[in-house]
Amino acid sequence: MRRSTTLTVRLGGALSDFVSANVGETGAYENVSEYIRDLIRRDKERSEREAFERLKAELERAFAAPDDTYRPLSASDVIARNKARSAS
């Protein structure tokens, strides 16, 4: 089930002017809520894109490594390694 969250944000000065310029008849958005939702969606997409790029870079490094640097790991080895990393 999706839930809705109500936020109250107080803006002043240049930030308020900037939002006002982007909302209404002269702006790209009909209302402030639509503008904020779009900003959050874009930030979420950026965050997901950055996470994907980090994963891609990690995989590229792994695949570029010489074969003799690979070593077999069991599932329990991987779990123990990840627990040790998250503890530090």
30-85 pLDDT, tens per residue?
999 999 999 999 999 999 999 999 999 999 998 999 988 888 899 999 999 899 98
Per the listing, tokens 């402030």 go with 32
Q: Would you state the pLDDT for residue 52? A: 97
pLDDT band at residue 2 under the 50/70/90 scheme? confident
Helix (H, G, I), strand (E, B) or coil at 2: coil
pTM, 2 dp = 0.67
Q: Would you state the pLDDT for residue 16? A: 96
Here the tokens at position 9 are 């944000």
* Rg (alpha carbons) of the chain, rounded to whole number: 23
Q: Would you state the pLDDT for residue 23? A: 96
**25 within 8 A of 17, measured Cβ to Cβ:** no
pLDDT at 1 over 80: no
